[in-house]
Amino acid sequence: MELRARGWWLLCAAAVLAACARGDAAGKTRSCGEVRQIYGAKGFSLSDVPQAEISGEHLRICPQGYTCCTSEMEENLANRSRTELETSLLDSGRALQAMLAAQLRGFDGHFQHLLNASEQALQDTFPGAFGELYAQSAKAFRDLYADLRLYYRGAHLHLEDTLAEFWARLLERLFRQLHPHLLLPDEYLDCLGKQAEALRPFGDAPRELRLRAPRAFVAARAFVQGLGVAGDVVRKVAQVPLGPECSRAVMKLVYCAHCLGVPGTRPCPDYCLNVLKGCLANQADLDAEWRNLLDSTALITDKFRGPSGAERVLGSVHVWLAEAINALQDNRDVLTAKVIQGCGNPKVNPQGPGPEEQQRWSKLVLPEKPPTGALEKLVSEAKAQLRDAQDFWVSLPGTLCSEKTATSTAGDDRCWNGVAKGRYLPEVMGDGLANQINNPEVEVDITKPDMTIRQQIMQLKVMTNRLRSAYHGEDADFQDTSDEGSGSGSGDGCPDDACSRAVDRKSSSSRTTLTHALPGLSEQEGQDTSPAGCPQPRSALLLLLLALALSVARPRWR
C-alpha cells in the first residue's frame, strides 16, 4: 500500500511539474476565457478573475500549477461544490421520502376506509334490526370504534383488555334492557360480570374478535409506522452536513479541473466513487439496519390476508357484533336462568313492565364482504418499491457520480484524476466508515462516527423489533409491562380531545396517551414537525443510547 501511494504521489508531482513547464515551453500563459464564462454563469463576479493563467502558489485545495483561479475563486467554488452535493443528497432523499409517504397514505387510507365502512354498516343496519336495544347502547359501539381507531393510530392501549371491557359494558346494558321488570343494582351486575366468561352470553363472537383483532390491528399499525420511521430516517440523515475534509475533496473533484485550465474534463469514475464513499461513509453504515427494516416491513404484509388479516378484521367488526347480539337473543332464557342460579333472584321493579311485555327483536345476519383486491394491489406495489429502495444508502455514491459528475469510463486516460487529465490508479474503497481508513481522497477518522446517523441506526433497530413482534401477533408495548414507556411520539396521530378520551373511561389503567402515533401525517399537512410514529425507545433503549453517546461523543471527524 505504501509503495502504491508513493507511486501515486510521484505521478501527481510529475503532472504538476508538467503543467508548470507548459507555460515556459509555450513562452506565454493560456487564456482563462472559458473559466471566466463558467464562473460568471454561476453568479459570481468576474472583476477579480484573471484574463490568463497565473502562478498557483496561493491555492489551498487545488494543485499549485498555473491556474485561472484566485484564492477567492477557490473558496467560492469550494462552497458551491459543497452546496451542490448537499442539494443532490436532499433531492435523492426527497424522492425516497415521497415514495414512502405515498405508500403510507395509500395503506392508511385503505385501513381507515375499512374501519369507517364497518362502523357505517353498523349504523345503517343495527337501528332497524334491534331498535331501542341498539339506541340505548349506541354509545358503547361508538366508543369501541373510537378505541379501535386510537389503537391503530398508536395509542398505548391493551386491545384485549379494551375488548373485554367493551363486552362487559355491553352485557350490563343489554341485560338491563332484556329485563326492565327487574331491579338490577350494580352489585348484581358485578356478579353477572364475574360469571360472563363461563356463561358465554354472546356466543363465539367475543372470542373470535379477541383472537383476530389484536393480530390484524398490530400488523396494520406496525406496517404504517415502519413506513413513517423509514421516511423520517431519510429526512434526518439527508440533513447531516458534510465535514470539512469532505468539502475539500468535493471541491477538488468538481472544480479544480476548472482552475487548472481543463474545465471540460469530467472526473474519473473511480476517483468520484472514492470521494463520495469517503464523504458518505457514515450514511453507508445505515445499510444493514435499513435492509432489516424494509425486509420486515414487506414481510408483515403477509399478515394482511386470511381470516385474521387486516382486510377481513378491520372491515368486519360489525359482523361479529351482530353475531354477538343474535347469540344473546337466542340464549336469553338460558342465560337468565343461570344468572339467577348463580347470583340469586333479583327483586321485581314495581314500576317496570311485566315479564309478558318483554320485547323481542329481529335477528340480523350480515354477510362478510369479499375483498375488493385494492389491498392486494397496494401490497404488490409496496413490495416492489421497498425492494428497489433496499440498497439506497450504499448506492448513493454511484448514483450521484453517474448522474451528476462522472461520464467517462473506468479505463479512460483523459478524465480528471484530481491532479491532471489522466487515468485514475487507486483502487475503489469499500462501503461504510471502517473501510475508509486508507481512502486516498478523503481523510476520514473512523473512530468518530456521526452521532445523528448512529441515532437513526438505533431508530431502525427499534422499529424492526416492533415489526418482528407484530409479525408474530405481539404488541411490543405490552411484552414487558414492567418497562412501559410513557413518552409521546414525534407527532400527534389524532386530535387531542380524541386521545384524551382514551384516558377518561373506565379501567383507564389500560389506556394512556399515544406513544407510537401513526407516522407521516404532520408533514403531509404541511406542519413543521417530524412525522409521528417514530418509535421512542423504552427506558432500556434510552439508557443504551445514552451509554453510546457518552462512549463516542467527540468532535465530528475532520
Rounded-to-integer distance, Cα 349 and Cα 407, Å: 91
pLDDT for residue 354: 57
Rounded-to-integer distance, Cα 550 and Cα 543, Å: 11
Secondary structure (DSSP) of 383-416: HHHHHHTTTHHHHHHHHHIIIII--S-TT-SSSB
Phi-psi region of 156 (alpha: psi -120 to 50; beta: other; left: phi over 0): beta
Burial class (CB in 10 A: 0-12, 13-18, 19+), 105: middle
**Residue 70, in any domain of the structure:** no
Burial class (CB in 10 A: 0-12, 13-18, 19+), 443: middle
Domain that holds residue 317: 75-94+108-265+287-349+361-367
**Residue 2, in any domain of the structure:** no
- Quote the number of domains for the chain: 1
Q: Please give the C-alpha separations between residue 177 and each of 202, 328, 335, in angstroms, as whole numbers.
A: 15, 12, 14
pLDDT for residue 206: 95
**Residue 261, in any domain of the structure:** yes
**Residue 259, in any domain of the structure:** yes
**Residue 436, in any domain of the structure:** no
Query: What is the pTM (predicted TM-score) of this model?
Result: 0.79
Query: Which pLDDT tens digit goes with each residue over 430-452?
Result: 999 999 999 999 999 999 999 99
Long-range own/partner contacts, residues 291-296 (CB < 8 A, 24 or more apart):
291/390, 291/391, 292/460, 292/461, 292/464, 293/226, 293/229, 293/230, 293/460, 293/463, 293/464, 293/467, 294/230, 294/386, 294/387, 294/389, 294/390, 295/390, 296/226, 296/464, 296/467, 296/468, 296/471
Q: Which grid coordinates belong to 55?
A: 502562478
SS3 category, 57: coil
Comparing CA positions, the residue from 529, 531, 473 lying closest to residue 222 is: 473
pLDDT for residue 217: 95
**Residue 356, in any domain of the structure:** no
**Residue 32, in any domain of the structure:** no
**Residue 420, in any domain of the structure:** no
CB within 8 Å of 525: residues ≥ 6 apart: none
pLDDT for residue 357: 53
pLDDT for residue 360: 61
pLDDT for residue 549: 46
Rounded-to-integer distance, Cα 273 and Cα 151, Å: 46
Low-confidence ranges of the chain (pLDDT < 70): 1-29, 351-361, 404-412, 478-558
Evaluated on CA atoms 108, 110, 113, 117, the torsion sign reads negative
Q: Which grid coordinates belong to 4?
A: 502504491
